Structure 1
Amino acid sequence: MEASTSFIHHVGVFASDFEASERFYTAALETLGIVAGYRTETVAEYWHPERDTPSLSLETAEKARDATRGMHLAFAADGRDAVDVFHAVAVSAGGTSRHAPRFWNEYRAYCAFVSDPDGNNIEAVHKENG
């Protein structure tokens, strides 16, 4: 049996306003090299162009009260510049800044945190030795 290289296969996020969330995730994740590989009017699947896992599934919540809320989801970034761009684009695409990009000693990482349209904590993180 071959060992998996990823702990997570996919994550699902259910949005109260699919169009607003799709705008946010499409713009923010594109800065990290993650694309919408599959789309319908109510579903968008995001992954790296070279591989479809791990992936993020964005779906319309059947009722606004069923939307995903309170989740913290971190995406790997290739460098500090990518974290900076992620933060700026995510905010301009409808997100709300939680923490501007900076180095976090306790995590040995350069990170930025943005709330998606439903208030989920979405992070771009670049691990460093620091």
Structure 2
Amino acid sequence: MSAHGPLLVHHLGVFVTDFAAAEEFWTAALAPLGIVPGYRADGLAEYWHDGHDTPSLALQHVTDPAAETRGLHLAFAARTHTQVDAFHRAALAHGGADRYAPRHWEEYRAYCAFVSDPVGNNVEALVKEERG
């Protein structure tokens, strides 16, 4: 159990054929959310909140295109609208493509931004909001 309660996910792996492009995108996009590379090795980068190695995202190089992660939708919690905005800008500046610019989504009761990573995975940053 974590300090915030039970974890739903301990870690997630994303497998990529172009490790350099993926590492550039993920490092830049996650930085505004306080998610940093915590461990690096040849063809491997693990991301987590500074000082907390769980939950984590592992980016791993694969040579077989059929093994590459595609079709994933992964959403990251942000603390502020400013973090969501910065995530969106950083992702677009480092190989990502716009899906939806930051805005309030009434149906999700959240402020969200959506981008595609370099291979088309749907990556989101959001702040949940309570609205009456």
Q: Give the alignment's Cα RMSD to 1 decimal.
A: 1.2
Q: Distance in 1 between matches of 2:64 and 2:96?
A: 21
Give aligned pairs, total: 129
1: CA distance, partners of 2:18 / 2:71:
16
Gaps of 5+ in 1: none
Deviation at 1:9? 0.2
- AA matched with 1:82: Q
Q: TM-score, normalised by structure 2?
A: 0.94
How far did 1:85 drift? 0.6
Equivalent position of 1:76 in the other structure: 77
Q: Which amino acid in 2 is paired with 1:127?
A: K
- Normalised by the length of structure 1, the TM-score is 0.95
Q: Which blocks of at least 5 consecutive residues in structure 2 are unaligned?
A: none
The ranges of structure 1 where at least 4 consecutive aligned residues each deviate by more than 3 angstroms after the TM superposition are none
Q: CA deviation at 1:50?
A: 1.9
* Corresponding letter in the other structure for 1:113: F
Distance in 1 between the 2:16 and 2:32 partners?
21
> After superposition, what is the alpha-carbon deviation per residue over 1:18-45, rounded to whole angstroms, capped at 9, x for unaligned?
1000000001111100000111220000
Question: What is the 5 A alignment of 1:1-130?
Answer: 5-130=6-131
Q: CA deviation at 1:102?
A: 0.5
Larger mean CA deviation between 99-108 and 4-13 belongs to 4-13
Shift of 1:118: 1.1
C-alpha deviation, 1:17, in angstroms: 0.7
In 2, the alpha carbon distance for the partners of 1:84 and 1:107 equals: 17
Give the distance between the partners of 1:36 and 1:127, measured in 2 at CA: 25
Q: C-alpha separation between the residues in 2 aligned to 1:14 and 1:66? A: 7
Identity, % of aligned pairs? 56
Instruction: Give, in whole Å, the separation in 2 of the partners of 1:26 and 1:9.
Output: 19
User: 1:31 aligns to what SS in structure 2?
Assistant: helix
Tell me, yes or no, if the aligned pair for 1:16 and 1:65 is still in contact at 8 Å.
no
Equivalent residue letter for 1:35: V
